[in-house]
């Protein structure tokens, strides 16, 4: 029984790895920047894969990225079907994941805050 519960997670990881490779090979000219697949959530029946993507570099336009991925959804699914050994290849749904952008923004805020602090570590020569 535990294997049935774990299967969507394992299939999601498999799809994440394969889809990242397919995107790198097939859409490298159409997407400015590096696409990162941050996660895949599978439905319990393995018929739908919600894929979370983020864009590193480029213009960071999440809507444009999702539009390109949706436009190529059928060819991506076909390539995924050829590379996986599954009885049924799931429908792929794309969602833009802003966690990387938020992390970079928080890191920049921390750097700015640290730059504004007086430097207490300075040795005054005493």
Res 125: pLDDT: 53
* pLDDT at residue 1, as a whole number: 45
Does this model's pTM top 0.85? My answer is no
State residue 61's pLDDT score: 75
The whole-number mean pLDDT for each consecutive block of 10 residues of the chain, a chain of 126 residues, reads 75 95 87 87 95 81 88 94 90 90 83 82 53
Structural domains in the chain, CATH included, are: 2-116 (3.30.300.20)
Contact yes or no for 76/26 (Cβ under 8 A): yes
**E runs forming strands in the chain:** 34-42, 48-56, 91-96
- What pLDDT is recorded for position 104? 78
Q: What is the pLDDT of residue 100?
A: 75
Q: Can you tell me the distance from the alpha carbon of 92 to that of 22, in angstroms, rounded to the nearest whole number?
A: 13
């Amino acid at each position: 029984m535990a294997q049935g519960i774990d299967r969507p997670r394992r299939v999601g990881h498999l799809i994440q790895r394969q889809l990242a490779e397919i995107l790198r090979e097939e859409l490298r000219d159409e997407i400015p920047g590096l696409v990162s697949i941050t996660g895949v959530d599978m439905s319990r029946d393995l018929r739908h894969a919600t894929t979370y993507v983020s864009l590193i570099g480029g213009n960071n336009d999440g809507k444009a990225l999702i539009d390109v991925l949706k436009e190529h959804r059928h060819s991506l699914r076909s390539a995924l079907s050829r590379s996986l050994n599954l009885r049924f290849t799931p429908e792929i749904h794309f969602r833009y994941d802003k966690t990387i952008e938020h992390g970079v923004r928080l890191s920049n805020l921390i750097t700015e805050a640290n730059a504004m602090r007086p430097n207490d570590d300075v040795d005054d020569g005493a």
